[in-house]
Amino acid sequence: MWTRWWLWPLVAVCTADFFRDEAERIMRDTPVIDGHNDLPWQLLEMFNNRLQDERANLSTLAGTHTNIPKLRAGFIGGQFWSVYTPCDTQNKDTVRRTLEQIDVVQRMCQMYPDTFLCVSSSEGIRTAFREGKVASLIGVEGGHSIDSSLGVLRALYQLGMRYLTLTHSCNTPWADNWLVDTGDSDAHSQGLSPFGQRVVKELNRLGVMIDLAHVSVATMKDALRLSRAPVIFSHSSAYSLCTSRRNVPDDVLQLVKERESLVMVNFYNNYVSCTNEATLFQVADHLDHIKNVAGAGAVGFGGDFDGVSRLPEGLEDVSKYPDLIAELLRRNWTEAEVRGALAGNLLRVFEAVEKVRDLTQAPEEEPIPLDELEGSCRTQYGYSGAPSLYHRQGLLLASLAPLLLCLWFL
């Protein structure tokens, strides 16, 4: 039969359908958890967050990569919605804008309760799966959103933040971003500053995932070394296939493997092929590469839908996920490996992060030193009255010295 050349096109068509059907069968009980989607930013840009505007109806929303029918067709069962505020808000209204983007995600869940279930735990994701809803979680994209404040960090946790991307495409006073590695930005902290290390400790204590998309390699290595729990790259691809500094180099993939962490692959053409054009097959190459270097347990999806202007042929919007899964099956990924990449790996990492959480530990209190804060429009309450511990110890010694001298002479 195989010698009948005229059968080949038929075989090709049938197997294509076979893998696509298999993908759908698997995704019906293991839907995809995507690490990064910028729909909330689109809602701000298009409607200034007015969800009741008719054109903002998520059932019919046009011109975006994401809407309710597309999420359904793509078997999206979990979504980390990106709470993003651009770097030019740093030292300005960044906290206000972060809160507004959290609010728009929460209102999305309230307006479309049949579609979205806002959750903040791995158990919540499983509940949404059972109910056939899109588990909706908050990932805050950019350390500038905490405005160098552990108090803001904790408040964002209370509002549902379950990952924090340590930087966007700008340094914070306490962590360096990827543009340091391209030479477009000066190294400031050489990775994480002492305050940045306290941020990582506090994220561990709270049970918030540490996201290393957008950070410099030095920051990646510092965080991977320091964190007591696995970390994620919510939307980054493989550097050895496309040498963009937004991607993860192989030596870091090795650390990802050791730390049982996760790389959720970004679909942006310029991070997939390093050109303006890319295909679904090239995205599958990235998934294969990460699997080969870091193991199948390190692979996930972070499409960056609605955050990018160019997407691969075959992955034009969130509805196309089953085609990508079909391609992995065609490449001999086992069903278990595929289920891991879809959801199991993220759930494993999230559960490990929840396990490390220890709210009985004392919170980090030591603020960033005043001279490391930037921006001229800040007030200095707290700093003027209560110098930092380090200064206080110095002052204490200085003020005690005369007393000690007196005691000596007595």
Ligand X SMILES: *[C@@H]1O[C@H](CO)[C@@H](O)[C@H](O)[C@H]1NC(C)=O
Q: Which residues are catalytic?
A: 36, 38, 141, 168, 214, 235, 304
Binding mask 78-117 for ligand X (x = CB under 6 A): ---------------------------------x------
The terminus-to-terminus CA distance of the chain in angstroms comes to: 109
Q: How far is the CB of 165 from ligand X (least distance, A)?
A: 30
Stretch that binds ligand X, among 54-62, 74-82, 125-133, 250-258 (CB under 6 A): 54-62
Cβ–Cβ under 8 Å, residues 203 and 164: yes
Instruction: Pick the binder of ligand X from 60, 110, 275, 361 (CB under 6 A).
Output: 60
> Cβ contacts of residue 110 below 8 Å, gap of 6+?
none
- Separation between Cα atoms, residue 256 and residue 224, nearest integer Å: 8
Residue 130 sits at φ, ψ, to 5 deg, of -60, -35
CB of 55 to ligand X, least distance (A): 10
The site string for ligand X over 316-335 (x = CB under 6 A, - otherwise) reads ---------------xx---
d(CA 222, CA 158): 26
Shortest reach from residue 308's CB to ligand X, in Å: 26
Which 120-149 residues touch ligand X, going by CB under 6 A?
none
Q: Does residue 188 come out as left (phi exceeding 0), alpha (psi in the -120 to 50 range) or beta?
A: alpha
- Please report, as a single letter, which amino acid is at residue 167: T
Q: How many residues bind ligand X (CB under 6 A)?
A: 6
- State which residue, 57 or 270, has the beta carbon closest to ligand X: 57
Helix (H) or strand (E) holding 78: strand 76-84
Q: Where are the beta strands (DSSP E) in 104-160?
A: 116-118, 134-141
User: 332 vs 360, which CB is nearer to ligand X?
Assistant: 332
Number of H helices, E strands in the chain: 16, 9
Q: CB–CB of 185/177 below 8 Å?
A: yes
- Considering only residues 330-359, where is the footprint of ligand X by CB under 6 A? 331-332
- Among 211, 144, 217, 142, residue whose Cα is nearest residue 182: 217
Minimum separation from the CB atom of position 113 to ligand X (A): 10
- Cβ–Cβ < 8 Å for 364, 202: yes
Q: Cβ closer to ligand X: 2 or 408?
A: 2
Q: How far is the CB of 367 from ligand X (least distance, A)?
A: 43
The answer to the question of residue 218 lying near ligand X (CB under 6 A) is: no
Contacting positions for ligand X (CB under 6 A): 57, 59-60, 111, 331-332
